[in-house]
A and B are shown apart, each in its own frame.
Chain A
Amino acid sequence: MTDVEAPATGSLLKIQGLTKYFGTFAACSGIDLAIQPGEIHALLGENGAGKSTLVKMLFGVLQPSEGRILWDGRPVSIGSPGEARQLGIGMVFQHFSLFEALTVAENIALSMDPKIPLAKIAEEAASLSKAYGLPLDPNAHVADLSVGERQRIEIVRALLQNPKLIILDEPTSVLTPQEADKLFETLFKLRSEGRSVLYISHRLEEVQRICDRATVLRHGKVTGACDPKGETPASLARMMVGSDVASVHREAAANLGDVLIDVVNLSVPARTPFAVTLREIGLQVRAGEVMAIAGVAGNGQGELFDALSGEYPVADAEAIRLRGKPVGRTGINGRRLLGAGFVPEERHGHAAVSDMSLSDNLLLSRSQSDRAAFLTGGFAAIIRHDVIRSAAKRICQVMDVRKSGEDPAAGSLSGGNLQKFIIGRELDRQPSVLVVNQPTWGVDAGAASRIRQSLIDLARAGSAVIVISQDLDEIFEVATNIAVISEGRLSKPYPAAELTLERIGLLMGGIHDSTGHAGSPTAPHAGGVHAH
């Protein structure tokens, strides 16, 4: 860990001792950071390390409790995002704030001076997007655009303010490798113009590739400042996590057993105007197999999960079979009773209720599958809180869930710890079928590796596992076979060992392989992927 102290003079942005308390909890404490003009500066850290709090203070969303922010060498107080923009700070949030029913230009106009005519904004946006290699049609409706294109809107929107510093929060988490490459080119161009970029990420390879300097946060404190190119991913991870991250261990594919998940010709019409229609999906997963479903966000992953879990049963009972039984029209608890477990993408308000305790959240997914143990009193269905609490405790121990208090509210746990609990809640039942959507989305490296290992272990013990993910590193770590979803269609599965990043990127970009349902995973030969 080398300490690269930037010279005080000439810094575009300098932060001294910045601290933010929420109650007595210090989300950020005594943070020092300096950003030079014309550099891409990485802000690395696990979830809950204080990255978001820090950038929210820089963008005027939160007010610091202590410390100073120096902009161009003079102290400033940033009271609102508007003041931040005036100073020359632009921000691209991880979650976009766009109206899907409006056009690109209209969305941009919403954040601009209302006196500027729409046509002028559209023109400027078009020329800017061309100049920075961010192709964008100002008259397109946002609903029709991919996530990558939506991100471009946010970037162009920030660039229109002519900022000196652009903050990007986890920008590549939703992009294909090709789209990410394009984004990097844009960032290099911004740097060559003397603009600075504060780049928030937990993807170490990326940070090493594009960032000039990095500041690492852990538990709200700076634990390292370094030149990422002089570090290894392992040394960066150590700074982030504080200990060596266990690498996921996967043995060569074991003998595969019976087909436990059999999806044949599954088509589901879109429920809402902005949902994706699933078309003729075919998928077979055998005992002992981890089938990963790759794809860029918003290509039908959520809809596929809904259909597989039975939260929204489908019209054709035969379209989905679990352990040989047709379950298309069976609800989620009926499928759970057959031995299936499900982990949705969104932790808060879907997989868990934030302001309910962990034990209540355990009952949430298992009230029927564990009825005999968790409920009593027959029809009255009286909850046996003591039994559930001890089961929750057991899960927390097995999955190493760190929490404050005996049975805290789910919302008080960090993302990684809550996700470990949610996965552990299903693993505790030893499900013969597990469907997981985005198992490690926004989860710190330590928790992610633990979760991935547990998925592999489950498959090795003879379960069929489906992992829907946008994180290609994760997919290559856990998958025996990989299929790619794009615009509601699923490619045929490919053995993980035979796919390259580039090829998967092409499949994710919408180059379909229409063979769909394949009897058993076969190696893709030269004809497997068609170019345009």
Chain B
Amino acid sequence: MRIELERRAGASGLFAIVSPLLALALTLIFGAIMFWMLGKNPGHALYSFFIEPLLEVWSLHELAIKAAPLILIAVGLAVCYRSNNWNIGAEGQFTIGAITGSILPILVPQWHSVLVLPLMLIMGAIGGAVFAAIPALLKTRFNTNEILVSLMLVYIAQLFLDWLVRGLWRDPKGFNFPQSISFSTEAVLPEILSSGRAHWGIVFALVAAVAIWFMMRFMLKGFEVSVLGRSERAGRFAGFSGRRMVWFSMMLSGALAGLAGISEVSGSIGHLQPSISPGYGFTAIIVAFLGRLNPLGIIASGFVLALTYLGGEAAQLSIGVSDKVTRVFQGLLLFFVLSCDTLILYRVRVIFGAGRAPAARS
């Protein structure tokens, strides 16, 4: 007996939809096994992980806050990945965006104007884009691998932020805590509803997702992304430039990550500090794939992954497991998503005996 993967004649439409759901189900099953091995009641644990956070208004607001950066970053990454450019450094671009966006409220806190906030957002996006331009430059000029370069730049960005808030930008009246001065009210991204903390970040995320979806679906630019991602040679034949696509996709995703960074700092933290992200930039990779690299799918998957963050916090309190459980869940999910995706293009056949399979008659 052996197991054979047989290529389907075409991509299976059914499995394109079923695959993420199947991955979710498998994640839950293996999560339950994990809780059981930790000596917890799996049913209770999964309930407090995935259901409890959805039952209260304040935690729905938290869900939106956490989903916003995930969706913003992931739609940018989707463009990158569709064009076959592997930006793994969104976490770094997020961090740099937060830093460049914070220049105005930290260095000129006395400037009070309605212009402050829009300028901050623009500067954050530009900062992220410029930081993502570094791997683009190195790739187009020296043919370096953007995966390694962008990943390594994450640590540079994080240490740079650390150095800033412990040195140059430390609040002089902050009792030596490593953090910047708090942003003035003009520099804070306002809340959408009076019922909770959710700020405009989630609106940016939804607008960006719909805009990118429109681009990929209806615009020549989106077509260019898809063609170059599938075959650079065919792209060249079409007159598209693979080199320019590296710049475009990296800087677009960098800008969106930067915007997510400054939105997060301005909307939910209110100052700079050494740690401003629980790994949004990396988790967004999972969001992008779970959403099938489709911006509308990413909106849904962004909320799912945001839930794993909330659930992790909740589970820490209510059942007393480490918040590392969040990471385990995210890892399981990515693993199952990628493996279930195989089923879209292949079917699994179990073959008994010596090479004679029950034939599928038409």
Contact = CB atoms under 8 A, between A and B. Distances in A.
B245 to A, nearest CB: 14
Nearest to A69: B355
Interface string A326-369: 00000111001000001010100111111110001001110110
A383 B239 contact: no
Contacts of B226: 353, 356
A353 B230 contact: yes
B8 A311 contact: no
A77 B354 contact: yes
B234 A349 contact: yes
A383 B219 contact: yes
B59 to A, nearest CB: 40
A412 interface: yes
A223 interface: no
A79 B230 contact: no
B9 A332 contact: no
Contact of B10 (A26, A342, A351, A412): A412
B148 to A, nearest CB: 24
A383 B217 CA distance: 9
A446 interface: no
Interface stretch (A60-68, A204-212, A274-282): A60-68
A367 B9 contact: no
B6 interface: yes
A351 B9 contact: no
B212 to A, nearest CB: 14
Interface string B189-225: 0000000000000000000000000000011110100
Contacts of B239: 331-333, 336, 367-368
A250 to B, nearest CB: 29
Contacts of A25: 9, 362
Interface in B327-357: 347, 351, 354-357
B237 interface: yes
B237 A311 contact: yes
Nearest to A350: B233
Interface string A52-82: 0000000000011110000000000101000
A355 B230 CA distance: 9
A497 interface: no
Interface in A366-422: 367-368, 375, 380-383, 409, 412
A21 interface: yes
A353 B236 CA distance: 12
B7 interface: yes
Interface string B228-259: 00110110111100000000000000000000
B355 A63 contact: yes
Given A356-B226, A360-B223, A367-B220, A24 B361 contact: yes
B360 interface: yes
Contacts of A383: 218-220, 223
B9 A22 contact: yes
Nearest to A19: B359
A365 B227 CA distance: 11
A85 to B, nearest CB: 17
Contacts of A24: 360-362
B29 interface: no
Contact of A353 (B11, B219, B234, B356): B234
Contacts of B360: 21, 23-24
Contacts of B238: 332, 364-365, 367
B351 A364 contact: no
Contacts of B233: 346, 349-350
A65 B227 CA distance: 36
Contacts of B356: 64-66, 77
A64 to B, nearest CB: 7
A65 B223 contact: no
A23 B8 contact: yes
Q: Give the interface centre of A66, A77, A346, A367 by most chain B CB atoms within 10 Å.
A: A367
Contacts of B354: 77, 79
A33 B233 CA distance: 41
A355 B237 contact: no
Nearest to A64: B355
A368 B237 CA distance: 12
Contacts of A344: 237
A38 B356 CA distance: 30
17 contacts: A19-B359, A21-B360, A22-B7, A22-B9, A24-B360, A25-B362, A66-B359, A77-B356, A79-B354, A311-B237, A332-B238, A350-B234, A353-B227, A355-B230, A380-B219, A382-B219, A383-B220
Closest 10 CB pairs of A and B: A24-B362, A333-B239, A381-B220, A349-B231, A65-B359, A63-B355, A77-B354, A77-B355, A350-B233, A364-B238
Interface of B: 4, 6-11, 218-221, 223, 226-227, 230-231, 233-234, 236-239, 347, 351, 354-357, 359-362
Given A23-B347, A349-B233, A353-B234, 7 more contacts: A21-B360, A24-B361, A311-B236, A349-B230, A353-B226, A365-B237, A383-B219
